[in-house]
Amino acid sequence: MMTKHEAIIQYIESLDVGTKISVRQIAKDLEVSEGTAYRAIKEAEVQGLVSSIERVGTVRIERKRKENFERLTFAELLKIVDGQVLGGRNGLHKSLNKFFIGAMQLDAMLRYIEPGSLLIVGNRYQAHKLALQHGTAVLITGGFDTSDEVKQLADQLSLPIISCGYDTFTVASMINRAIYDQLIKKEIMTVEDILVPSEQVTTLRPTQTVEDWQKLVQESKHIRFPVIDEENRLVGIVTSRDMVGAQIDTPIHRVMTKQPITITPQTSVASASHVMLWEGIEMLPIVDSNKVMLGIVTRQDLLKAQQFIQRQPQKGETFVNLIMSGFEEEESDGCICFKGKVTPQMTNPYGNLSIGICTTLLTEAARRYLRYAKRCDMVPEDVFIYFIKPIQIDATIHICTNILEMSRKFAKLEVVIKNDGKIMGKAILTAQLLQR
* 279 and 166 part of one domain: no
pLDDT beyond 50 at 125: yes
**Do 326 and 430 have their domain in common?**
yes
Among 206, 243, 247, smallest CA distance to 224 is for: 243
Residue partners of 16: CB distance under 8 A and separation at least 6: 60
Q: What is the pLDDT of residues 224-267, one digit of tens each?
A: 999 999 888 999 999 888 888 889 899 999 999 998 999 998 88
Q: Return the CATH number at 328.
A: 3.10.129.10
Average pLDDT for the chain = 84
Top pLDDT among 434 and 378 is at 378
Of 71-80, 230-239, 249-258, 403-412, the poorest mean pLDDT is in: 71-80
Note whether residue 288 is domain-resident: yes
Give the model's confidence band at 137: pLDDT under 50 very low, under 70 low, under 90 confident, else very high. Answer: very high
Q: What is the mean pLDDT of residues 112-129?
A: 90
For residues 297 and 425, give the distance between their C-alpha atoms in angstroms, rounded to a whole number.
Answer: 40
Radius of gyration of the chain (CA): 28
Q: How far apart are CA 60 and CA 50, in angstroms?
A: 4
Total number of domains in the chain:
4
Q: How many H helices and E strands in the chain?
A: 14, 22
Domain-terminating residue out of 309, 330, 350: 309
Q: Are residues 326 and 427 in the same domain?
A: yes
CB atoms within 10 A of CB 381: 12
329 and 400 co-located in one domain:
yes
Nearest Cα neighbor of 234 from 282, 275, 290, 194 is 290
Ordered strands of the 137-140 beta sheet: 84-87, 161-163, 137-140, 117-121, 98-101
Whether residue 198 is predicted with pLDDT greater than 60 in this model: the reply is yes
Residue 319: per-residue pLDDT: 72
From 32-41, 52-61, 224-233, the region with the lowest mean pLDDT:
52-61
Res. 429: pLDDT tops 90: yes
Q: Describe the strand order of the beta sheet including 283-287 as a list of residue ranges.
A: 196-197, 293-298, 283-287
Domain boundary among 276, 309, 342: 309
Note whether 26 and 98 are same-domain residues.
no
In our burial notation (b when 16+ CB lie closer than 10 A, e otherwise), range 106-115 reads eeebeebbee
11 and 51 co-located in one domain? yes
**Is residue 426 located within the same domain as residue 325?**
yes
> Is the Cβ–Cβ distance between 383 and 363 less than 8 Å?
yes
> How is residue 18 annotated by DSSP?
T
Domain, as residue range, for 50: 4-60
Q: Rounded to two decimals, what is the model's pTM?
A: 0.47
For residue 397, tell me if it sits in a domain: yes
Query: Averaged over 303-322, what is the pLDDT?
Result: 60
Residue 1 has pLDDT above 60, yes or no: no
The answer as to whether 152 is a domain residue is yes
Same structural domain for residues 280 and 183? Answer: no
81, amino acid identity? V
Q: For residue 295, give the CATH number of its domain.
A: 3.10.580.10
Residue 180 shares a structural domain with residue 70: yes
CATH number of the domain at 137, please: 3.40.1390.20
On whether residue 353 sits in a domain, the answer given is yes
Q: How far apart are CA 425 and CA 436, in angstroms?
A: 30
Shared domain for 323 and 262, answered yes or no, is no
Say what the pLDDT of residue 256 is.
93
- Residue 163 scores a pLDDT above 90: yes
Show Cβ contacts of residue 426 under 8 Å, excluding neighbours closer than 6 positions: 385, 386, 388, 414, 415, 416, 417
Q: Residue 314: inside a domain, yes or no?
A: no
293 and 353 housed in the same domain = no
**CA–CA gap between residue 293 and residue 228 (Å, rounded):** 8
Range with the lowest mean pLDDT among 56-60, 125-129, 284-288?
A: 56-60
Answer yes or no: are the C-beta atoms of 81 and 166 closer than 8 Å: yes
- Please report the pLDDT score of residue 385 as a whole number: 92
354-376 tens-digit pLDDT? 988 999 899 999 988 888 777 78
Instruction: Based on the fold, state whether residues 261 and 286 are members of the same structural domain.
Output: yes
